Amino acid sequence: MQRCTNSKNAAWEHYGGRGIKVCERWLDVKNFVEDMGERKDGMTLERIDFNKGYFKENCKWIPKAEQPRNSRSNVWIEANGEKKILADWARLLGCKISTIKYRLESGWSPSLAVTVPMGTSANRKYNEYREKT
């Protein structure tokens, strides 16, 4: 509530400062509980569309461990018909996030950047692909 309504709150610029609001109905906590239910242990309130405010149709309870995955700062990459955050692609490839970022900055296609295995043959495979295209 504070980060959406109090311009002195440390997180204001990321919430109220960019237009994220809490619906008026929820200013009365009784209405919030009626709409969303009580918070269960280990859960946190998540906005489904992080560019919209806090209201019943845009919020849900999720495990706290999941919430960082839905941050605006995440980089989404689509490859081979799958869309995942950069951290998930790195985990699948067995590399650091910085490796995939470097590949992308070096001109690799998103698909190759997240699927070419690590090692010296990775650059060779990429160069062979570039020569074909």
* Consecutive H or E run containing 82: strand 82-85
Spell out a b/e string for 17-39, using b for 16 or more CB atoms within 10 Å of the CB, else e: eeebebbeebeeeeebeeeeeee
The pLDDT score that the predictor gives to residue 117 is 83
Average model confidence (pLDDT) across the chain: 88
Q: Where are the domains of the chain?
A: 2-70, 76-132
pLDDT tens digits, one per residue of 6-37: 999 999 999 999 999 999 999 999 999 999 99
Contact call for residues 129 and 107 (beta carbons, < 8 A): no
Structure tokens belonging to residue 6: 């109090």
pLDDT(123) > 70: no
Q: Global pTM?
A: 0.59
Mean pLDDT over 40-58 rounds to 94
pLDDT tens digits, one per residue of 76-100: 899 989 988 898 899 899 999 899 9
Confidence bin at 64 (pLDDT 50/70/90): confident
